[in-house]
Structure 1
């Protein structure tokens, strides 16, 4: 289980790095408004996926992991926002932090459904849900990256 989650974390990180490199190479062909939308989309989805997987890897210390995810997602938003201008820097930061917080909270609810007054599940069902949602978030990152890269050709 841990190897799978670490694999998903590394795969999402590699997809984010590849997307950043491709956007950095093509940054002169898109306008400021389009670049801001791309930075917000990329940082939000990547932060959501990374926050959720990091929360799945966490055992107990919720506050420290939340602060760590906020730092990682804010940095991710700033790096994608820096491709365009200062306005995109702020919007990328806010979109990244919102995505990271949403991923962390979603991961916490998947691990402990009683937080939202949902019926508690067995350990097997929780692990199965963690695998399904981490796969879903990775597929979401792949689809988002593919659409962003396709938009360079159109």
Structure 2
């Protein structure tokens, strides 16, 4: 079982006060539930193109907890799905994709989350190997 799953299980255990035996639980939603596809399109109220920030740096992500990275992953996933919907709609209408640099920023940030989690996983494996070696000696 990966370290992330163990940490999530431990956090859930402490939050719920009991052992979570099943992984069939309701996913965390950070947005208001909508009954239609309007969540995948930008706000109609804001006619101007929204200014976007830069992608997240790996150094910034290293200071975040696994829970924060998990939340950030789903925010980025939602943003990526919205951008893909916009891209598909623009192609359908024969227009250019609006702000393609946003997709690059989202992809970079998602890739950096994977890098940071991989670093953490390797660090834990190295610690365990070291502990096993010292136990055997």
Which TM-score band (shorter chain)? 0.3 to 0.5
When normalised by structure 1's length, the TM-score is 0.33
The structure that has the greater radius of gyration is 2
When normalised by structure 2's length, the TM-score is 0.36
